[in-house]
Chain A
Amino acid sequence: EPEVTQTPSHQVTQMGQEVILRCVPISNHLYFYWYRQILGQKVEFLVSFYNNEISEKSEIFDDQFSVERPDGSNFTLKIRSTKLEDSAMYFCASSYHGTDEKLFFGSGTQLSVL
């Protein structure tokens, strides 16, 4: 089965630094998502992306966050100035028909902000 790939698997950064989390969605998918999960807690929606623009975003997705699809294959999440509370596992997901079908999730990037 095709996979969503995320890099890096672990990222350690200092508070205030910028980080970019990278994702390669499944090649023919049209909808892209970022979620995050603080250790052992709920899976929180951050943002959805379709047709080269944000479809929906949560309250968490403030001005410090941005997403980009710089080419035909990558989908990135940038955090401009990281905070301690940004420490979490970040999951990328993709689908062809949006949430009308299952989402395919990557294995995540564990972000640790020190």
Chain B
Amino acid sequence: SQQGEEDPQALSIQEGENATMNCSYKTSINNLQWYRQNSGRGLVHLILIRSNEREKHSGRLRVTLDTSKKSSSLLITASRAADTASYFCAYTGTASKLTFGTGTRLQVTL
């Protein structure tokens, strides 16, 4: 399977803490993206990192990419209860297909 793997599958933290999610993939990629999904609703794009980039920031989000290890991580700093959601990495090698990872369910408690 070309499916990416994410770990942990589930993560529970307290508000204010940082959350780190990891993604591993199996193919060469052009870019890697992270999406958020609230309770089975639509996927919302968070951040995109290209294969020639190693780190990218957007607000409280920090993404790293290590193409030699075929892995990426998403860090959410100073988490809030509203960050509770599932987070998916998705990667592409062609213009035609984005392959999603298995997802991490994040629970942020007060």
Residues of B at under 8 Å CB distance from A?
A: 3, 30-31, 33, 35, 40-45, 48, 88, 90, 92, 94-103
Contacts and interface: CB of A to CB of B under 8 A. Distances in A.
Interface of A: 4, 31, 33, 35, 37, 39-40, 42-45, 48, 50, 55-56, 89, 91, 93, 97-108
Interface of B is mostly: strand
B95 A55 contact: yes
Nearest to A31: B95
Nearest to A106: B42
Nearest to A102: B45
Given A42-B102, A42-B103, A101-B48, A48 B42 contact: no
A37 B40 contact: yes
Contacts of A105: 35, 42-44
B40 A99 contact: no
Given A42-B3, A43-B88, A98 B48 contact: no
A39 B96 CA distance: 25
Contact of A99 (B35, B43, B94, B102): B94
A102 B98 CA distance: 10
B41 A48 contact: no
10 contacts: A44-B100, A45-B97, A45-B99, A55-B95, A100-B95, A102-B48, A103-B45, A105-B35, A105-B43, A108-B42
